Amino acid sequence: MAISKANFNSFNVTPTASKFITFNSSNNGLAADDVGGSLNLISTQTASSSANLSFTSGIDSTYKEYIFKFINVHPATDNVRFEMNMSVDSGSNYNVTKTTTFFQAWHAEDDSDTTLQYATTSDLAQSTSSQRLNNGLGNDNDGSLSGTLHLFDPSNTTFVKHFTSRVNLMYRTDSYDPSAFSIQTFVGGYGNTTSAVDAIQFAMSSGNIDSGVIKMYGVT
């Protein structure tokens, strides 16, 4: 049934930024309903020549999804990888067994190279090693990495622990890459454990995290 403008206005529906118009079968008309889903900031960590940034509290059954946002993460050492690992004992050990996939796309500033590839050396197959979230992050003064990691239902004790990551970085190694690159990497996989994951750690493959911010959100 078509709804005229007059009939639409008669429902007195006022959508807002956090609501949308939906059909209410009980009232046989329209209603403003919640869009659903919001990010709740749980904690923020700021690096300052830090060996790692570890989140050892706040990951529990409160939320079914957690999102970590990386903001201008800058390494102290050149040509390193930003990595993550998970813990099931509140951070005493970061050694959850993982199986993952890794692919990346890059584009040189001078347009000399454009590539999309699956990186077999960066994935894991039933390994407790840390998972790379990028390849080749440079420590140029203006270089950094930003992106997100999603961790799904970490407190579930029936299923494995899925996660996905997407980051973008500026990379230059002057010794053999005269042009800087924009590199975007995509990682997906699961922690092969039915134990609750209750902590996560981020670190460089070598050297410290010189600067940068990581924020942890719960998703409702």
Is the Cβ–Cβ distance between 156 and 196 less than 8 Å?
yes
pTM of the model: 0.83
- Kindly report the CATH number that applies to the domain delimited by 39-219: 2.60.120
User: pLDDT tens digits for 129-186?
Assistant: 999 999 989 898 989 999 999 999 999 999 999 999 999 999 875 555 567 899 999 9
- Compute the distance between CA of residue 132 and CA of residue 85 in angstroms, rounded to an integer: 9
**β strands within the chain, DSSP E:** 19-24, 29-34, 39-50, 53-55, 65-75, 82-87, 98-108, 114-118, 131-132, 145-152, 161-171, 181-191, 199-204, 209-219
- The residue extents of the domains of the chain are 5-34, 39-219
Angle 37-155-65 from CA coordinates, rounded to 5°:
20
